[in-house]
A and B are shown apart, each in its own frame.
Chain A
Amino acid sequence: MSKTLRALILFIIAVAAPTLVEGGPIPSLELTPPGEAAVAPDIALNDLNGNPASLSGYRGKVVLLHFWASWCLPCRDEFPKIKALWQRLKDKDFVVLAIAEDSHKAAEAFAKKEDIGFPVLVDQYGSALRSYGIKALPASYLVNREGRLEGMAVGAREWDSNAAYDLISGMIK
């Protein structure tokens, strides 16, 4: 066995060692403000019924743009919290736009099981994922009535908390 081969085997063992390491706790509602008053990139996708829908179509409402996938365990855990928030605010100018980074079939099955009442758009080729530069799920973006980003969160958040309710209620007023 050559020296290069041996060196590479040692290298792979060294690189693989961190697989035992895990991360920290779930933050509560730490939203990152956008660097500037950034306009939220528009999203134009089809919903679960095949009808076209876009983010700009909800201009005038506060939108929680939520990227998720049914295979993502943190997303599944977070979904009931988002649903709870939506149920408290659905009669006001607030909408949750769930962007499924999933197949139509999987997103439809999940939406049916969870009895989701807000729109689910299927990002079949990942164009929305790309335009927001998302590298991890779940990812959420709060968009104000003017279509500007107010805050973003990568990872699960306590969307059913009073802090979330107060924050969005403040944006609706």
Chain B
Amino acid sequence: MKRYIPLIIFWLALVHSSTAWAFGECGLSCCIGGAVNSGGALAENLGLSFQYEYMHMESILDGGREISPTGALNQNWKRGGYYTVPDNMIMEKYTLTAAYPATERLQFLGILPYVKNNMDMLMKSSTGTVMRHRMDTVDGLGDISLLGLYTAYTDAPIRPSRRLTLGLGLKTPTGKNDERTSTGAMVHAMMQPGSGSWDPLFLANYMRAFYPLILQANLLYHLSNKGDEGYEYGDQLSYDLIARLQAHNYINLGLEINGIHAWRDKDHDGKYSHPLSSMMDNPDYTGLNSIFLSPHFQIKIPNTGGSVQVKYQTPVFQEVNGLQQVVDWRILMSTSWAF
């Protein structure tokens, strides 16, 4: 059923997109740059966006140095005990975003994620035998976020050359954060669909356009609070530099630099922490600095308010606290519709 979700949304969008523009008109949605990111659409009435994210994690870093899974096992395993490290992890996320412009300067966004996480692990037993096993798939509704975006300045309403947008939001604890494996153990904190906490979000976006080239800078600060299970993710600062070229009326090409600085997590009640037996369950092994290079392209669909976008992310710099499995590559595909 899940594979049909994009097609259903696409079909609904076609059915409800009543505006058809003839030759000799400029449909406004074709000219409106995204407020938050290069894929976002500003709707005149309502905007919907659906995104699929596929993240592949396999490499393990020790600080800034790559280490093999067996190397990580041997480094932490102690005779008589056991230790597990992740071998590879696939995190998928389906995100539905709805945008509603309350006024010409204020827009509200609702972001609804659905996550699906899979992980293979290597375990070195007390006898020194290394075994591979797969964690049960964790999937479910994630944490819904609500955002208000305010256009603090723009020099034009549709195709501005300068625009500053400020945002304030709240991440709600709608996703489960107490998922357990079939053996009854708490699933690793980072694999849980939700965090269990109410977290404020602060956002700033500056856009400067030299058409057909558009430059954007984003800053997003996620202030994390303690979840109801006692786990507190580290705060996270995301920053993006985006260059987008309108190569054709209906095609945008782009290149982004996406940076993340995440602070260390804290497990106040110790429910998720097993530092002596699991690399994944060690709050000291959280927090990182990452920079990704992300080429993308966007195709706008003529005579509709729709567009599709594909973005590929590859890391150019990653440094972590302790030992952590990191992102090797990520692909994001989205379709947006303005009604």
User: Chain A: residues with CB nearer than 8 A to chain B?
Assistant: 2-5, 7-9, 11-12, 15-16, 18-19, 21-27, 69, 71-75, 101-106, 123-127, 129-130, 133-138, 154-156
Contacts and interface: CB of A to CB of B under 8 A. Distances in A.
Contacts of B302: 18-19, 21-23
Contact of A136 (B19, B101, B159): B19
B155 interface: yes
Given A15-B301, A126-B158, A135-B28, A25 B23 contact: yes
A136 B21 contact: yes
Contacts of B97: none
B72 interface: no
Contact of A102 (B19, B20, B25, B159): B159
B303 interface: yes
A9 B332 CA distance: 11
B28 A16 contact: no
Interface of B: 2-3, 6-7, 10, 19-29, 31, 44, 52, 54, 90, 92, 101, 103-105, 151, 154-161, 211, 250-251, 299-303, 305-306, 308, 310, 331, 333, 335
Given A4-B52, A19-B301, A26-B23, A11 B156 contact: no
A130 B25 contact: no
A27 B25 CA distance: 11
Shortest 6 CB-CB contacts between residues of A and residues of B: A126-B157, A23-B23, A103-B155, A155-B25, A103-B156, A26-B24
A72 B2 CA distance: 40
B155 A8 contact: no
A27 B10 contact: no
B85 to A, nearest CB: 23
A8 B333 contact: yes
Given A11-B6, A135-B19, A19 B251 contact: yes
Contacts of A27: 22, 24
Nearest to B211: A71
Given A4-B92, A12-B299, A15-B308, 10 more contacts: A2-B90, A15-B10, A16-B308, A19-B302, A72-B26, A104-B155, A124-B154, A134-B28, A136-B27, A137-B26
Nearest to B23: A23
Contact of A18 (B28, B301, B331): B301
A107 to B, nearest CB: 8
Contact of B54 (A2, A12, A73, A126): A2
8 contacts: A11-B7, A69-B156, A72-B26, A103-B156, A125-B105, A130-B104, A135-B19, A136-B25
A69 B25 CA distance: 11
B315 to A, nearest CB: 19
A72 B157 CA distance: 13
Contacts of B161: 103, 105-106
Contacts of B156: 69, 101-103, 106, 124
A160 to B, nearest CB: 15
Contact of B44 (A24, A102, A130): A130
A126 B163 CA distance: 13
A105 to B, nearest CB: 7
B157 A7 contact: no
Nearest to B14: A15
Residue among B3, B105, B156, B302 with the highest chain A CB neighbour number at 10 A: B156
Nearest to A11: B6
A16 B299 CA distance: 6
B26 A74 contact: yes
A74 B26 CA distance: 7
Contact of A5 (B101, B103, B331, B335): B331
B26 A136 contact: yes
Nearest to A71: B159
B238 to A, nearest CB: 24
Contact of A125 (B19, B151, B159, B308): B151
A4 B2 contact: yes
A10 B142 CA distance: 26
Contacts of B160: 103
